[in-house]
Amino acid sequence: MTWIDRLATGWKAWIILFALTMTAAAPGVFNLPALDRDESRFAQASKQYLETGDYIAIRYQDEFRNKKPAGIHWLQAGSTAAFGEGEHLDIWTYRVPSWIGAGLAVLACFWLGIPAIGRRAAFIGSALFGSSLLLTSEAHISKTDGVLVFLITLAMGCLVRLYLRKDNDKRLALAFWIIHGAGFLIKGPVISLVAGMAILILWLWDRRDYQWMKSLAWWPGPLISVLMVLPWLILIQIATHGTYVEGAVGKDLKDKLVSASEGHGGLPGYHLLHLPAWFFPGILLMVPAVVLCWRYLRHRTLESLGDVDRDALKFLVAWALTTWIFFELLLTKLSHYILPAYPAFGLLCGWAAVKLMEDARAPVSRYLSTILFLIGGVALVLFTSPWAVDLLQADKIGDFRTASEADVMAQWGGARDFPLWLWVPGALLVLLAAGAMVFRRVGIAVTGGVLAALLLGWQARIFVLPSQTWIQATETAKLALADVCGIPRTDCGERQGPDRVLALGYAEPSYVLTLGTQNLHPPETPTDLPDDMSAYPVVYLVNLEDEEAEASLKSLQKQADQLGLCSARSEPYYALNYSNNDPVAFIAMRYEACEG
């Protein structure tokens, strides 16, 4: 047995794979502030489940959020109820389902791969999938994708067993439909799409042979799946006055299919171009996997493959290819859309790794993949270095209308100072993995790549991203609010924080999530100070880079003078709002009755 075989045997293989993804993502779960915009919208809707006790309709403040099903919000509300406290403002509690979901997705990938490509190849492929930058990133974002990829992989594990065994096991078919129902409650028809496209291609590939899928048509399975979704769908249609389906299907889904929704467009090839970074380190074996699959499936006389081996490759190729092509052709493009194909990519790469260890010849594809690996690795190394911060700050520092470059840099200067003790070995491991691949030391190359992804991911999630407050607009806003005791419901000694904050020129969801549902932003923010003195203190968060907000601030100051109010003004704090790439210059204004 090789050292890889020893790692892949018994219970320790499952522990290693689960721990790999969980430890890679853990720093991001706990260290990163709430992200804009989708993460904070999902978490805020889940928080309002806890605040209102209504677990049917999905809301963002006072509006219905008719986009995705409620499954992820139930999970996030449950994890926050279990681990959160107070007003449930800590973002990490909402991330727990994604974090655990990503870890379970790697175990599902291993479970799927064992009967398909063998334990050694499944272990390597699952490790490549589990350490991939996209999966470990989605694992610390409180959205649907971490849980969804687990359920899709588990469902595909049921299908591959049905396809390989040809025994029409009704228990596997029932398991598939139960998982399908759960997946539909997480993100609608995505699980149906991925599984359905793979089944269709296999049916065509096998010359319309449908014998292996007969048990899937056994009526209890589809019925159970429908009954898992239908009661909630009926209840939410009633709760939203019949607007949920119209919003989720007639707008959200339709917009993604017929246009570049919310400006997220791109040409076909978008996901392919992102593979060197997002599928790092698995990209190291991607090109050999494509070449060897073509050789083994197209030219049967070149190698000896059993029927089960050939069927397993066909299944993985059908899954990977159809998912990738669909999302390449989809007009709306976001990098995480292709995540359901990553388990198949990983297993194909694991299979290719074993074939290369067994002396399969693929020199050109091996060199090409090494180049792609170096492109992704160098990009990751540069991104996690102080030079990347320098370049980005230099590009953005002159964008401010209300502040000089010197004033902005005086605040931003310290953001480059973070240790490099994880970065240096991570960079060296990228070179080690590339060199090992060139010299056909595939096991060392895979190990080096996985460790490089782990260390560079930690560098980003422990040191780089948490320290860059200047690109975390809401965290910067909280610094301004703290100057005037403006953070809601805080005790500042002689002064008390307000019940809510009123924002002008700033409306990101992370502001609502981290400061409280009661806080208002444009266009709901009132611009008239109250006559009732019991309503004070009143605190405004003002983005001076927004001309309308600046004009409103002047009007507020006139009103304060007329009412005889005292005011306190914070120092300006500068940041980049990465959601729209605009500079923000925050001040906080606190108005209250003068003492005496």
**Predicted local confidence at residue 341, as pLDDT:** 98
Question: Six-digit token pair at 31?
Answer: 């260290």
Residue 530: HSE in the Cβ half-sphere, 13 Å Cα cutoff: 14
Q: What integer pLDDT is reported at residue 302 of this predicted model?
A: 47
The mean predicted confidence, pLDDT, of the chain is: 94
Contact 473, 506 (CB under 8 A): yes
Is the model's pLDDT at 201 over the cut of 70?
yes
What DSSP character marks residue 594? P
Burial of 422 (0-12, 13-18, 19+ CB in 10 A): buried
In order, the DSSP letters of 15-73 are HHHHHHHHHHHHHHHHHSPPPTTHHHHHHHHHHHHHHH---SS-EETTEE--SS-SHHH
Instruction: Specify the range with the lowest mean pLDDT, choosing from 174-188, 296-310, 319-333, 340-354.
Output: 296-310
242: helix, strand or coil: coil
Measure the N-to-C terminal CA separation of the chain; round to a whole number of Å.
Answer: 84
HSE of 223 in the Cβ direction (CA atoms, 13 Å)? Answer: 3
Whole-number Å distance between alpha carbons of 564 and 108: 66
Write out the two tokens for 478: 């909280």
Share of the chain above pLDDT 90, in %: 88
Structure token digits, residue 511: 């502001």
Upstream peptide bond of 537 is cis (omega within 30 degrees of 0): yes
The lowest-confidence range among 132-141, 218-227, 488-497 is 488-497
- Would you say residue 491 has pLDDT above 80? yes
Q: Which amino acid does the sequence have at 209?
A: D
**What is the phi-psi region of residue 546: left when phi exceeds 0, alpha when psi lies from -120 to 50, beta otherwise?**
beta
Helix (H) or strand (E) holding 491: strand 491-492
Kindly state the average pLDDT of the residues 198-213. 94
The predicted structure's pLDDT at residue 40: 97
216 phi/psi in degrees, rounded to 5: -65, -25
Cα–Cα dist 345/24, whole Å:
20
Report the alpha-carbon distance of residue 360 to residue 340 in Å, rounded: 28
pLDDT tens string 515-551: 999 999 999 999 999 999 999 999 999 999 999 999 9
Q: What is the structure's pLDDT at 301? A: 45
CA distance 125 to 217: 31
Mean pLDDT of 316-325: 97
Q: Is there a contact between 33 and 515 (Cβ–Cβ < 8 Å)?
A: no
Q: Give just the sign of the alpha carbon dihedral 479, 482, 488, 490.
A: positive
Question: Residue type for 447, please?
Answer: T
> What residues have CB less than 8 Å from 172, skipping those under 6 apart?
158, 161, 162, 215
Average pLDDT over residues 408-437: 94
Q: Is the pLDDT of residue 308 over 70?
A: no
- Position 140 scores a pLDDT of 96
Beta bridge partners of 280: none
Q: In Å, how far are 101, 391, 397 from 394, measured between CA atoms?
A: 38, 5, 6
Share of the chain residues as helix, strand and coil, in percent rounded to the nearest 5: 65, 5, 25
- Average pLDDT over every residue of 508-518: 96
Can you give the pTM of this predicted structure?
0.95
What size, in residues, is the chain?
Answer: 596
Confidence of residue 438 (pLDDT cuts 50, 70, 90): very high
Of 92, 62, 63, nearest to 76 by C-alpha is 92
Range with lowest mean pLDDT among 90-104, 202-216, 256-270, 393-407: 256-270
Q: Which of 116-120, 242-246, 296-300, 399-403 has the lowest mean pLDDT?
A: 296-300
Confidence of residue 307 (pLDDT cuts 50, 70, 90): low
How far apart, in Å, are the Cα atoms of 499 and each of 477, 487, 516?
Answer: 17, 9, 9
